[in-house]
């Protein structure tokens, strides 16, 4: 008779969390364990599967081929486990949740978030608004939205949690060239209408570097920005989230463009103690953001950071 190995759920969660956060030290803090306990769990997991899962990579660790495979399976196992628990705990929750988020996430992350939430909360209806950042913050302040993802910190909203810091990037068509090739011509910019935190960051960086610029296209929609940039009207400023395959991140080192800062992605809540349905959606959003942003570079983690 074949003897099956039952993987330890706590150990799998440690394994996945470490690579999602980019640090097993951070995983230890989040999970309430010591770093030595985390190391013991990793060894236990390798013993269970009979494979080496992590290897040294500079001052950190990276996944082996077997580790990459298990990482994928582990995420699916944990998602199913969490969905089952959430569904049983939330089966009697009813009502509405009003969610706002930037246009960047409407087509990329939103389906997964809503799907997971709906399976666990079949009696709860979700109303979603994909809008400009300023509008989302205002609607959260006035109570028109229960939750909103937003770019940049705001002192106006007290119930705010920073979920990630993402790099702002110059974005253009592949092979765009460099600032020097423009000669005396100002740099053509494609940007959102004011107010826009990305536009402000890009313009500030250009002004500080002494690079002349001109606004060639404005739009209230992200689709409009992508279309104008794809058409070669100019370059734009955004994060890599939802970046079309037809566009590329422009490297300041080769293009002569100034370096850009990072920007916080913040979860805003209308209430300090929201209802259960709102709290659960907030939890799913937090977990999704952490997982998806870590996916930009999930190949290695820092042991001590």
Mean pLDDT of 192-209: 91
Chain centre distance of CA 250: 20
Q: Which residue has the higher pLDDT, 5 or 260?
A: 260
pLDDT reading at 35 higher than 70:
yes
Percent of the chain with pLDDT strictly greater than 70 = 88
pLDDT reading at 240 higher than 80:
yes
Orientation angle between helical segments 276-294 and 9-21, nearest 10 degrees? 60
Q: How do residues 119-174 score in pLDDT, each as one tens digit?
A: 877 788 889 888 888 888 889 888 899 988 888 765 566 688 888 888 899 999 99
In which region does residue 210 sit, left (phi positive, over 0), alpha (psi from -120 to 50) or beta (all else)?
Answer: left
If one looks up domain 94-162+267-295 in CATH, what number appears?
3.40.190.10
Q: How do residues 254-301 score in pLDDT, each as one tens digit?
A: 999 999 999 988 888 888 888 888 888 888 888 888 777 765 543 333
Q: What are residue 304's phi and psi, to 5 degrees?
A: -110, -15
Element housing 284 (H / E): helix 276-294
pLDDT reading at 38 higher than 70:
yes
- Determine the Cα–Cα distance for residues 277 and 125; give it in Å rounded to an integer: 10
Q: What are residue 58's phi and psi, to 5 degrees?
A: 70, -125
Third-level CATH fold of 9-88+297-302: Arc Repressor Mutant, subunit A (1.10.10)
Mean pLDDT of 91-95: 65
In which region does residue 191 sit, left (phi positive, over 0), alpha (psi from -120 to 50) or beta (all else)?
Answer: beta
Q: In which residue ranges of the chain is CATH 1.10.10.10 found?
A: 9-88+297-302
The pLDDT of residue 2: 56
Cis peptide before 7 (omega within 30 of 0): no
- Determine the Cα–Cα distance for residues 190 and 257; give it in Å rounded to an integer: 15
Cβ–Cβ < 8 Å for 193, 131: no
The pLDDT of residue 295: 53
Q: In which residue ranges of the chain is CATH 3.40.190.10 found?
A: 94-162+267-295, 169-260
If one looks up domain 169-260 in CATH, what number appears?
3.40.190.10
Report residue 209's pLDDT band, with 50, 70 and 90 as the boundaries.
very high
Q: Integer distance in angstroms from the first to the last C-alpha of the chain? A: 45
Tokens of 18: 């470490």
The pLDDT of residue 98: 92
Report residue 220's pLDDT band, with 50, 70 and 90 as the boundaries.
confident
pLDDT, the chain, mean: 82
């Amino acid at each position: 008779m074949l003897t099956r190995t039952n993987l330890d759920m706590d150990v799998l969660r440690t394994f996945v969390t470490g690579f999602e956060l980019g640090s097993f030290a951070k995983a230890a803090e989040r999970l309430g364990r010591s770093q030595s306990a985390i190391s013991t769990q990793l060894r236990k997991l390798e013993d269970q599967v009979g494979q080496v899962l992590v290897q040294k990579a500079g001052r950190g660790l990276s996944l082996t081929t077997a580790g990459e495979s298990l990482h994928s399976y582990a995420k699916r196992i944990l998602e199913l486990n969490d969905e089952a628990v959430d569904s049983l705990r939330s089966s009697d929750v009813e009502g509405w949740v009003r969610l706002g988020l930037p246009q960047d996430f409407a087509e990329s992350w939103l389906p997964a978030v809503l799907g997971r939430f709906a399976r666990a909360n079949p009696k709860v209806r979700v109303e979603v608004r994909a809008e400009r950042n300023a509008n989302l913050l205002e609607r959260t302040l006035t109570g028109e939205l229960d939750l909103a993802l937003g770019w940049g910190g705001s002192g106006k909203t007290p119930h705010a949690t920073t979920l990630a810091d993402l790099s702002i990037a110059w974005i253009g068509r592949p092979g765009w060239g460099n600032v020097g090739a423009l000669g005396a011509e100002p740099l053509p910019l494609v940007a959102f209408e004011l107010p826009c935190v990305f536009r402000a960051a890009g313009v500030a960086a250009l002004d500080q570097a002494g690079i002349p610029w001109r606004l060639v296209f404005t739009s209230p929609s992200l689709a409009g920005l992508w279309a104008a940039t794809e058409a070669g009207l100019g370059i734009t400023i955004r994060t890599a989230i939802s970046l079309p395959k037809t566009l590329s991140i422009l490297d300041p080192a080769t293009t002569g463009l100034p370096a850009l800062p990072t920007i916080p992605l913040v979860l805003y809540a209308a209430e300090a103690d929201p209802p259960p349905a709102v709290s659960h959606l907030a939890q799913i959003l937090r977990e999704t953001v952490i997982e998806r942003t870590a996916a930009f570079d999930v190949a290695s983690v820092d042991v001590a950071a």
